[in-house]
Structure 1
């Protein structure tokens, strides 16, 4: 067994695939980012990044994002990384469960009791139903059922549609088969960014008896249809016990936001409303598909509690950024305590 206690097979397969796909030019570019921020020489950084990837399961972007250049060995050991997270995801999920999480329509059907918003599946024979739904909502979100990173998501306004038959065909041809009501987020979230529905990522692990909260991050958008980084969004870590922001916001592109660029809201002052209700929602939802024990859950806090948006069996990693937060430790101890790896 490797030092982190994860199965040796997946680890070796990951390393072999990583070695096959390695892009030295990309590594050097990241090393230059580290040099510009921390003053560490590029050759030393390249070597440290390669060694960290091979020995400690640290992705190159993790090294940059989590400021490993300024951390001690002991501090680095406390940070979750994407390779470790993916190994956990592979180990603690089964194909049948993954299929539900990967298809947004299947997910909505299975988790309908945890979803507050209205939604509709676009079919070949329901053009009139689609028109009625969109007109009743005014503005809707259309989603491609199988997509990632906020891609395949579009916002439509009923007032802009003049040919409903053509609109219905466009949805089918574009595989935008899931239509959803726009979630009415809590006023405290709208105060930060009213133009985007701002989601909270709660990473949890179901051990068969209890659901453990491992990490909580708050994502903020920039007025676009999604709060993902591909749409200009960013995040801040929340205290997993209180739901209060731990720092300013940041992303994987070197941007730091002490205040929201559009509203001016100070990110470090943010407190997620109805935090206990959001955690309770995930405590229930995480038991629904026991074939997926480890997942990243996206919720939106509303005036009445929390609305479940989606679950991700590949939970991803959101972590502290020491140069921004001043917090030089990560969340891996919580993961280890809950999962036992």
Structure 2
């Protein structure tokens, strides 16, 4: 039943116009007719538990069955990740407000929650009085960095700031207001347009913490660094903190690999993430805050002044995990499930 639910969800959320375009491009080199490719796609989404877009990201048109079964798609990940974090604590990670309350001691300072039209004068005053010139407004219900914005408050008085917030905030939507973080110079030089973030996925049995894998995301001239927004993702060696190879971008609807950042021209492989020991210390501390959450993907900001926790993800993204290493990791996912089942 879960497989059919996941299959239906994937089909419902699909951009079918984009899929038809990709099918037109792919059928010439795949050996399929256009309609044959679409038929193979539909069967694959159910049999291999992938979404239509993942069918192309993973390059299924050029793969045989033995290769396809190695990839973990949306439905397989959804079923697995439901076991990694029990239902009764999922809100700790799905709600940014609850997450902030639990993990505040590991995060950058914040001013509180805000929504329009109920803009509290006390919060406006805090934004002006805390000695922070730039704040970031993160939608409490936002996903993949969407809907967030930064605001420079230097030179504003309370009345002007109140009016400016009224223009920017969406009616009824709640925002968490945090100090805007700026990357360490060694990361910002790669892409200065947004905060480039590290994701480290950990496993805990309640006593010890194990690092499962690490990735870094770089923006591509936009406001956020997510793959879904056209950014890049690369594998990071969890021991050394160094990028191990090329970075992947999915902006075109396919997984495309870049040796260098197209804007800064800096080579991805060999980039060394500053404060790496502190990054590892931070995520291990985070993993021990809620030990019922066995496997979590932690997003971390690395700045000149140190490292800060941004989010904990119960859904740590099958694309960010597999595409940078150009390998289907479904066997790894099954191993993770066995680790969790053994403890419980």
Query: TM bucket by the smaller chain?
Result: 0.7 to 0.9
In structure 2, the partner of 1:118 is 109
Q: Which of 152, 162, 167 lines up with 1:165 in the alignment?
A: 162
In structure 1, the partner of 2:127 is 133
Q: Which of 198, 202, 205 lines up with 2:203 in the alignment?
A: 205
User: Does the C-alpha gap of structure 1 residues 310 and 126 become closer, same or farther in structure 2, counting only changes over 3 Å?
Assistant: same
C-alpha deviation, 1:25, in angstroms: 5.5
After TM superposition, the structure 1 = structure 2 runs for residues 209-220 of structure 1, keeping only pairs within 5 Å, are 209-220=207-218
C-alpha deviation, 1:156, in angstroms: 0.6
C-alpha deviation, 1:128, in angstroms: 4.4
User: Does the C-alpha gap of structure 1 residues 206 and 74 become closer, same or farther in structure 2, counting only changes over 3 Å?
Assistant: farther
If the length of structure 2 is used for normalisation, what is the TM-score? 0.80
Give the secondary structure class of the aligned counterpart of 1:269: coil
C-alpha deviation, 1:223, in angstroms: 4.4
Q: Say whether the 8 Å CA contact 1:298–1:308 is kept in structure 2.
A: yes
Q: Which of 59, 68, 75 lines up with 1:76 in the alignment?
A: 68
Q: Which of 112, 135, 144 lines up with 2:139 in the alignment?
A: 144
Q: What is the distance in 1 between the residues matched to 2:13 and 2:190?
A: 40
Q: What is the distance in 2 between the residues matched to 1:278 and 1:46?
A: 44
Q: What is the distance in 2 between the residues matched to 1:214 and 1:40?
A: 38
User: Does the C-alpha gap of structure 1 residues 333 and 282 become closer, same or farther in structure 2, counting only changes over 3 Å?
Assistant: farther
Q: What is the distance in 2 between the residues matched to 1:229 and 1:24?
A: 19
C-alpha deviation, 1:88, in angstroms: 1.5
User: Does the C-alpha gap of structure 1 residues 172 and 77 become closer, same or farther in structure 2, counting only changes over 3 Å?
Assistant: closer
In structure 2, the partner of 1:6 is none
> Which has the higher mean CA deviation after the structures are superposed, 187-196 or 279-288?
279-288
User: Does the C-alpha gap of structure 1 residues 331 and 280 become closer, same or farther in structure 2, counting only changes over 3 Å?
Assistant: farther
Q: What do you get for the CA RMSD once the two structures are aligned?
A: 3.1
Give the secondary structure class of the aligned counterpart of 2:90: helix
Asked if 1:100 is matched to 2:100, the reply is no
C-alpha deviation, 1:201, in angstroms: 1.9
C-alpha deviation, 1:259, in angstroms: 2.0
Q: What is the distance in 2 between the residues matched to 1:246 and 1:320?
A: 14
User: Per-residue displacement from partner, 1:30-55 (whole Å, max 9, x unpaired)?
Assistant: 3234346x544334433332232211
Q: What is the distance in 2 between the residues matched to 1:100 and 1:109?
A: 9
After TM superposition, the structure 1 = structure 2 runs for residues 238-317 of structure 1, keeping only pairs within 5 Å, are 238-254=236-252, 256-303=257-304, 305-317=306-318
Pairs aligned (count): 327
User: Does the C-alpha gap of structure 1 residues 211 and 43 become closer, same or farther in structure 2, counting only changes over 3 Å?
Assistant: farther
Structure 2 residue ranges without an equivalent (≥5): none
Q: What is the distance in 1 between the residues matched to 2:8 and 2:122?
A: 52
If the length of structure 1 is used for normalisation, what is the TM-score? 0.81
Q: What is the distance in 1 between the residues matched to 2:49 and 2:175?
A: 38
Q: What is the distance in 1 between the residues matched to 2:128 and 2:305?
A: 24
> Which has the higher mean CA deviation after the structures are superposed, 66-75 or 310-319?
66-75
Give the secondary structure class of the aligned counterpart of 2:269: helix
After TM superposition, the structure 1 = structure 2 runs for residues 54-69 of structure 1, keeping only pairs within 5 Å, are 54-69=46-61
C-alpha deviation, 1:133, in angstroms: 2.4
